[in-house]
A and B are shown apart, each in its own frame.
Chain A
Amino acid sequence: MTGPAGTRATATAPKPAAAKAAPGPPHPTVRALTRALPLTPATVLLLLFLAGPIAYCAYIAFTDLQLTGQAEDSFIGFENFRTAFGDEAFLNAVWLTLVFTVVSALLGQNTLGLALAALMRRASKPVRTLVGGIVVTAWVLPEVVAGFLLYAFFRREGTLNAVLDWLHLPTQNWLYTLPILAVSFANVWRGTAFSMLVYSAALNEIPKEITEAAEMDGAGGWRRMWHITLPMIRRSIGTNLMLITLQTLSVFGLIWVMTRGGPGGKSQTLPLFMYEEAFQKSMIGYGTAVALLLLVVGSLFSVIYLRLLRTEV
């Protein structure tokens, strides 16, 4: 936040003291150290409160630590991970996490966000303000509130069924028959605003001349989208995909409020599975091991995006 002058001020402030010890310019290491000095408190705090717990988590993933029911915990190596891959409930959770992420983040939030952003460029100002306002409202609602709203929308006596009933269409209990799709839809409803904002910003960066030139050459809307817009906002697509994927992988409250991962584990994604193992069955060690595996899933997605992101420029 400070300008170069400010930075220099902090760096050179201790100089009088150093100057007494060594006349002339200070040694490069000394300078590096003095420059690092202002960062130390923050670094120490980060190590203490962020890296510390993470390292501790990584350690307990290899133990059989329980919240209750045993006197001593011991180091058990990869046993928790072996258990996980032999555990049907875990594999089910992995599968549902992938479904939830692909359906709600990649297909839902991402394409809907892009579509909204593209349509809103051509819309009149009042329409733009109205649509943008509605979409962003869904996004700023606390997760639990959004969860309750959508629970009320989907439940057996909820709004959706009332509307279907009024249209004389068959109704069903969505949270019971298609729970993973219901929570995916909820996540799309809640998270689209983020993608919309990212893409609005990206689309505004595209020089008008290029689109106009393409139009002169007779390229239709779809072709312009495919050959000009998408390649030009490629970086934003990558960044957005990475961010929403990581957000979606860790969604807990929304699903917890709507279905608790039920019925029968049909919407139990990894975060919910983790919670159940760690806190309801008290298997802290196993739950943490699953958390680490979730971290791996997240990294895999990130690596894929980073590779796709590489521009041939």
Chain B
Amino acid sequence: MPVRPTAPSSRRSPLRLLLTAALAVTAPGALAACGSGSGSDPDTVEVSYKQSTDNQVRVMDTFLADVKKQFEKAHPGKKVKLVPIKAPDSEYYTKVQQMLRSPKTAPDLVYEDTFLINSDITSGYLKPLDDYLAGWKDWDQFIDTAKTAAKAEDGKTYGVPDGTDTRGLWFDKAIFEKAGLPADWQPKTWADVLDAARTIKRKVPDVIPLNVYTGKPAGEAATMQGFEMLLYGTEGATRGGADPLYDEKSKKWKAGTQGFKDALAFVETVYKEKLGPEVSDALDPNISTRVRGELLPEGRLGINLDGSWLPQDWLPGSGHAWPEWSEKLGLAHMPTQNGQAPGKVSMSGGWTWAIPDKAGNPDLAFEFIKTMQSKANAQKWYIANSGIAVREDVAADPAYAEAQPGIKFFTDLVSSTHYRPAYPAYPKVSTAIQEAMESVTTGDASVAEAAKNYDEELRTATDDQVIEE
């Protein structure tokens, strides 16, 4: 091949063009990286939210698309960009936190679980909303407890809740009938719950008597729907009304309480006596999807300790529509350990809309919140999502209370519900609880050993901010 010192220009120009194009494409990116703002244009609100991993469930997508339409109509020239993140909860948190770290990737509005919001506030990922809220008259309609869901230790509010949830016992009436248990079942104590499960095991052998979420694969579902529903009903928690996990006075986490061991013992009993799902199924990361999608609708589960949101998966158009669920399933509140006052236990969490600290268009983002959380839209959302209202005007609206069976039952639990001590260390504490649950579920450790391991983990997770009882 003859060597040409200089290629003819016709051969070189495409190369030059390519280089110029490459530079032209990369330069703005590089420049934007140096600037601040979410790298988006000032007329677009980027909204990131959690998309269900179940392709059939598109409740949130539908709702947000509707709000987007309203917003763009009311704000000519402004655009909304929806950024769905399709992941199970724990992976959604991780993804969002990584997005929040950089102004280039931070959205303008982010859907934050109250479980993690304090942690993210401490990291400086979110903006305080007090100035915005002061100028928004609808904020007065929000229930006080819900307002505190996203209030940080600095007294500022960082998120607008879009509903809350409560928890209780769902039971299969057909299975109960076969087992000779009452259709209006309402256990008074933990022992009643276990006895009912034992009865089912004896008389209806081919179903799972009782589901209590457990172990690390189930994640926060195990901690909150499982463990805390027990722990917050133990003697220590109900007597003084003190939080069984965290001591407000000394600002320390509680180690080795009797209540903790009692709650673990309950979990151990469920799996040791084979009253729950097969241990390997209970420790399958997809257990909660299976419970909602298969076990309950197919009548293969007697009692399920679970959240108020289950029916959202059974609404018409959700893919596993199960309109007759309200005839097939009964509801009972979770009793306290020995039936002591107040008699019922519920935990509440929920999600909030927050504005990232590095958001490019915070003002526009708050405008979007206003549209999304107006009475009409909020009501639409609570009903679509089987959420519990946090706006008083909606809670009082008969159209809401009668929209779906079960809403009244779960809304009434709000009066006796507990919120998690969602301080920054909470996610790690929660993981430690899941590990303790898992070890008694598999039989790897006795209750005493598991509680001891929890105490050690707790010290690590909270930098020794631990108080012995």
Chain A interface (Cβ within 8 Å of chain B)?
A: 3, 5-6, 8-9, 12-13, 15-16, 66-71, 156, 173, 175-176, 260, 262-264, 279-282
Encode contact with A along B1-32: 1 for CB under 8 Å, 0 otherwise: 10111100000000000000000000000000
A175-B280, A264-B439, A281-B427 are known contacts. Are A69 and B5 too (CB-CB below 8 A)? no
With A71-B122, A279-B94 as known contacts, state yes or no: A262 contacts B283, CB within 8 Å.
yes
Q: Are B94 and A280 in contact (CB under 8 A)?
A: yes
Q: How far is the CA of A69 from the CA of B442 in the complex (A)?
A: 31
- Chain A hits for B439, CB < 8 A: 264
Would you list which residues of chain B between 58 and 107 have a CB under 8 Å from chain A? 90-91, 93-94, 97-98
A263 touching B97, Cβ below 8 Å: no
| Pair A68/B280 contact, Cβ less than 8 Å | no
Which B residues are CB-close (under 8 A) to A15?
Answer: 5
In angstroms, Cα B98 to Cα A260, docked, is: 22
Tell yes or no: B203 within 8 A of A by CB.
no
Q: Out of A6, A69, A173, name the residue touching B280 (CB < 8 Å).
A: A173
Interface residues in B116-134 by Cβ distance below 8 A to A read: 116, 119-120, 122-125
Chain A proximity mask over B361-381: 1 for CB below 8 Å, otherwise 0: 000000000000000000000
Q: Are A263 and B1 in contact (CB under 8 A)?
A: no
Q: Within the assembled complex, what's the spacing in Å between the Cα atoms of A175 and B279?
A: 11
26 contacts between A and B (CB under 8 A): A5-B1, A8-B3, A12-B5, A16-B5, A68-B93, A68-B116, A68-B120, A68-B424, A68-B427, A69-B119, A69-B123, A69-B427, A70-B122, A70-B123, A70-B424, A175-B280, A262-B216, A263-B279, A264-B283, A264-B438, A279-B94, A280-B90, A280-B94, A281-B431, A282-B119, A282-B427
Say whether B425 faces chain A, with CB atoms less than 8 Å apart.
Answer: yes
Binding site for A on B (CB under 8 A): 1, 3-6, 90-91, 93-94, 97-98, 116, 119-120, 122-125, 215-217, 278-281, 283, 285, 424-425, 427-428, 431, 438-439, 442, 444
> Are A9 and B3 touching (Cβ within 8 A)?
yes
Contact indicator B123/A263 (Cβ below 8 Å): no
Closest to B120 in A: A68
Nearest A residue to B282, CB-CB: A263
Closest CB in chain B relative to A37 CB, distance in Å: 15
| Distance A8 CA – B5 CA, assembled complex (angstroms) | 11
Cβ of A262 and Cβ of B94 under 8 Å apart?
no
Known contacts A12-B5, A71-B124, A263-B280; 20 further A-B pairs (Cβ under 8 A): A3-B1, A5-B1, A6-B1, A8-B3, A15-B5, A67-B123, A68-B119, A68-B122, A68-B123, A68-B427, A260-B217, A260-B285, A262-B215, A263-B279, A264-B215, A264-B439, A264-B442, A279-B94, A280-B90, A281-B431
**Within the complex, what minimum Cβ distance (angstroms) separates B217 from chain A?**
6
Assembly CA distance A281 to B220 (angstroms):
12
Which residues does chain B contribute within 8 Å of A8, judged by CB atoms? 3
Measured CA separation A191–B3 after assembly (Å): 46
With A68-B116, A69-B425 in contact, is A156–B280 under 8 Å at CB? yes
Is the pair A281, B428 in contact by a Cβ cutoff of 8 Å?
yes
A67 touches B280 (CB 8 A): no
Minimum CB distance partner of A14 in chain B: B5
CB distance from A9 to the nearest CB of B (A): 5
List chain B residues, Cβ under 8 A from A12.
3, 5
A164 to B119, CA, bound (A): 49
Chain A nearest CB: distance from B436 CB in Å?
A: 11
How many angstroms between the C-alpha atoms of A66 and B94 in the bound complex? 11
CB distance from A79 to the nearest CB of B (A): 12
Closest to B278 in A: A156
Set A3, A66, A173, A264: member contacting B123, Cβ < 8 A: A66
Q: Cβ of B215: which chain A residues have Cβ within 8 Å of it?
A: 262-264
When chains A and B are docked, how far (Å) is the Cα of A16 from the Cα of B438?
A: 74
Residue numbers in B under 8 Å from A281 (CB-CB):
427-428, 431
Please give, as numbers and ranges, the residues of chain A lying within 8 Å of B125 by CB-CB distance: 68
Do B278 and A173 touch (CB < 8 A)?
Answer: yes
- In the complex, A12→B115 CA distance in Å? 65
Residues of B within 8 A of A173 (CB): 278, 280
Q: Chain A contacts of B425 at CB under 8 A?
A: 69
Contacts of B431 in A (CB 8 A): 280-281
A6 to B3, CA, bound (A): 8
Q: Contacts A67-B98, A260-B285, A263-B442; is A176 near B3 (CB within 8 Å)?
A: no
Q: How far, in whole Å, are A9 and B2 apart by their CA atoms in the complex?
A: 9
